[in-house]
Structure 1
Amino acid sequence: MKVLVTGATGFVGQRIASRLREAGFDLRIASRLPQRLAGADDAVALPGADAPQEAFLALMPDVTHVVHCAALNNDRGAGEADLRTVNATLTGRLAQAAAKRSEGRFIYLSSVRAVVGADFSGTIDEATPPAPQCAYGRSKREGEIAMLEAFETARRVGATALRLPPVYGEGVKGNLHGLMRLAATGLPLPAAALTAVRSLVSHDAVAGAVTHLLARPTPPRPTYVLADASPVALSEIIAAFRRGYGRPARLLPMPAWPFRLLATLSGRQASWQALVATQICDPSLLASEGWMPETDTLGRLEDLARQAG
């Protein structure tokens, strides 16, 4: 049984590829950066979104399943057109080829940004109506639609999107990397401004979910929301990182209003609203189907900082 993994040189894709190998799957690796694949077995270049369909079909010989991790993320300053090209058009083209030539699952790594904006407060599950608020979120939602339409047109089942909250692990990027850098400074921080609660997911848990969905006999549902078992407060995240670095927490009992006022005066209200938003992802659907979410988020974050330090 062979699995085509796109984006396998990336942060999450690399961990997924490793877990699938450990589980006994044969892999074909496709990357938009083929220079990173030198020496890898069964490694191919991932066609661009404007490539002929034959180029995508050429990826599929002997492939049973596809795990599509390749994406343009929202931390690189990409414009909306580029995000749509990579995250939506490319996904649709790959899904069309998979629906025609492969026999098994198509797993697309999506994001909770396909459903809600950064300033949303509440619980996110599979029934949350999609209302993306940024170019990245819109592109991921369009990718989900393109994938599902490709399989529906081919009268196939087996396509699913995994909606992920911020992902952590070795090589973490984005806002969590920024929090790690802030924690490493040891600067005192206002605890009252860091009370928002967030769901996170470890890249090991994502890899475990992919492996689980490929191994189980019944087809997946169209979407799943992933997260660790328990959400954590931003103050707890900072404190965990600082324990890992061997530093005191230094979270001071300062009120939040001066920081809210400063954000208002500097025109950064949106950033403030994103900082104080509580976003809880409910992973109970996939957990009810046998997947095991991470239960020690703070311990894993502490270990991550310890390794980085």
Structure 2
Amino acid sequence: MKVLVTGATGFIGSLVVRQLRHAQVEVRIASRRPQPGAAYDVVPLPAFDAPAQAFLAIAKDVTHVVHCAGLNNDAGNAAEADYLNANAELTGQLARAAAAQTSGRLIYLSSIRAAVGANFSGTIDEDMAPVPQCAYGRSKREGEVRMLDAYASAGRRDATALRLPQVYGSGMGGALATLMRLADTALPLPTATLRGVRSLISSEAAARAVLHLLTRPGPLRPVHVASDLSPISIAAIIEAFRQGLGRPRRLIALPAGLMRPVASLLGKRTFWDSLSATQICDPSLLVSEGWSPETDTFQRLSEVARRSKARRV
């Protein structure tokens, strides 16, 4: 068994590589910036518009592919075309090569944004009809479609999109990093009003889900959803960060009717509204197959904040 991992130096990809090596799986890394003299198999990751032969070359002599590379939704000034190139065109190219040349599975790290927007409230599972609401989400959904089409055209069904909620861990970005910066003050914060509840997933649990999907017996579904076992409120997320940072709790409740105009004045109304949504992922399918989710999100978030503070000292 040999696995090609793209995006292997990234936030989740690096942990996927570590998990595979711990399981004594041979790994090939496809990187945009390969380091010379590496002690393991590293190849350059072709650009989205590279010839098909370039993708066939990196997939030669591997059995499985884990596709982590892409453009995240916290990319500053990315246009819709940038997202489509990085998350759909590249995925389609890689999937066609993998379907033609590998004998094993393709796991594509996708996002719940491929199915729902940031303001959606409800439960997210494998059977819901995708209705992405942003450029990032549309590009991730298009990447899923192109991957599955490439495998269907080859008469294969051993590819799946692993949809993840917000991922936390050392080096995280996006909204969770923003909330941790917000938590890092001794001043009282008007966050107890935030009753929105979210499913999250630790980066380590996401990497374990990838290994599970690579090695579990039986056919793959087109989509799998992973998350920590229990959702957590936005206010509790901030409280966990404050605990890890050694800050006093000091969360106060202000009426939502007061906070919304303030958020609008600061140009943060969309962000505020997204914090009020309740998005609960249902990981029961993966759990029923033997995958182990994180069970104490609060303490894990607190530990992430504690380690972040220790690195700054």
TM range, normalised to the smaller chain?
A: over 0.9
Give the whole-Å Cα distance in 1 for the aligned partners of 2:225 and 2:274: 20
Give the whole-Å Cα distance in 2 for the aligned partners of 1:174 and 1:271: 11
Give the whole-Å Cα distance in 2 for the aligned partners of 1:55 and 1:253: 56
Give the whole-Å Cα distance in 2 for the aligned partners of 1:193 and 1:45: 48
Contact 1:192 1:255 in 2 (8 A): no
Give the whole-Å Cα distance in 1 for the aligned partners of 2:244 and 2:275: 23
Give the whole-Å Cα distance in 2 for the aligned partners of 1:133 and 1:38: 43
Q: Which residue of 1 aligns with 2:61?
A: 62
User: What pairs up with 1:135-284 in 2 under 5 angstroms?
Assistant: 135-264=135-264, 268-284=268-284
Q: Aligned with 1:294: secondary structure?
A: coil
AA matched with 1:72: L
Contact 1:2 1:65 in 2 (8 A): yes
Q: CA RMSD of the aligned region, Å?
A: 1.3
Q: Which residue of 2 aligns with 1:305?
A: 305
Q: Residue by residue, what CA displacement relative to the aligned partner does 1:144-180 show, whole Å, maximum 9, x if unpaired?
A: 0000000000001210001110001111111111111
Q: Residue by residue, what CA displacement relative to the aligned partner does 1:252-271 show, whole Å, maximum 9, x if unpaired?
A: 13322211122345665423
Give the whole-Å Cα distance in 2 for the aligned partners of 1:177 and 1:265: 22
Q: Aligned with 2:128: secondary structure?
A: coil
Give the whole-Å Cα distance in 1 for the aligned partners of 2:186 and 2:145: 44
AA matched with 1:165: P
Give the whole-Å Cα distance in 2 for the aligned partners of 1:294 and 1:171: 18
Q: Which residue of 2 aligns with 1:25?
A: 25
Give the whole-Å Cα distance in 1 for the aligned partners of 2:7 and 2:174: 17
**Alpha-carbon spacing, 1:265–1:241, altered in 2? closer, same or farther (3 Å):** closer
Q: Which residue of 2 aligns with 1:97?
A: 97
Contact 2:193 2:252 in 1 (8 A): no
* Stretch of structure 1 that moved more, 262-271 or 189-198: 262-271
Q: Aligned with 2:108: secondary structure?
A: strand
Give the whole-Å Cα distance in 2 for the aligned partners of 1:163 and 1:151: 18
Q: Residue by residue, what CA displacement relative to the aligned partner does 1:50-109 show, whole Å, maximum 9, x if unpaired?
A: 111110000122201000000111111211101101100100000000000000110000
Shift of 1:194: 1.7
Contact 2:243 2:249 in 1 (8 A): yes
Give the whole-Å Cα distance in 2 for the aligned partners of 1:38 and 1:247: 44
Contact 1:190 1:256 in 2 (8 A): no
Structure 1, unmatched stretches of 5+, are none
Contact 2:193 2:253 in 1 (8 A): no
Q: Aligned with 1:58: secondary structure?
A: helix
**Normalized against structure 2, the TM-score is what?**
0.95
Structure 2, unmatched stretches of 5+, are none
Q: Aligned with 1:167: secondary structure?
A: strand
Q: Which residue of 2 aligns with 1:48?
A: 47
Q: Aligned with 1:187: secondary structure?
A: coil
AA matched with 1:141: R
Give the whole-Å Cα distance in 2 for the aligned partners of 1:184 and 1:266: 20
Give the whole-Å Cα distance in 2 for the aligned partners of 1:192 and 1:180: 15
Q: Aligned with 2:255: secondary structure?
A: coil
User: What pairs up with 1:64-143 in 2 under 5 angstroms?
Assistant: 64-77=63-76, 78-143=78-143
AA matched with 2:30: A
Give the whole-Å Cα distance in 2 for the aligned partners of 1:134 and 1:33: 29
AA matched with 1:108: Y
Shift of 1:39: 1.8
Give the whole-Å Cα distance in 1 for the aligned partners of 2:174 and 2:58: 31
Give the whole-Å Cα distance in 1 for the aligned partners of 2:240 and 2:263: 26
Question: Across the two proteins, how many residue pairs are aligned to each other?
Answer: 308
Give the whole-Å Cα distance in 2 for the aligned partners of 1:274 and 1:45: 37
Shift of 1:220: 1.5
Give the whole-Å Cα distance in 2 for the aligned partners of 1:163 and 1:262: 33
Contact 1:16 1:207 in 2 (8 A): yes
**Normalized against structure 1, the TM-score is what?**
0.96
Contact 1:166 1:201 in 2 (8 A): yes
Q: Which residue of 2 aligns with 1:9?
A: 9
**Alpha-carbon spacing, 1:242–1:34, altered in 2? closer, same or farther (3 Å):** same
**Alpha-carbon spacing, 1:190–1:125, altered in 2? closer, same or farther (3 Å):** same
AA matched with 2:285: L
Give the whole-Å Cα distance in 2 for the aligned partners of 1:30 and 1:38: 15
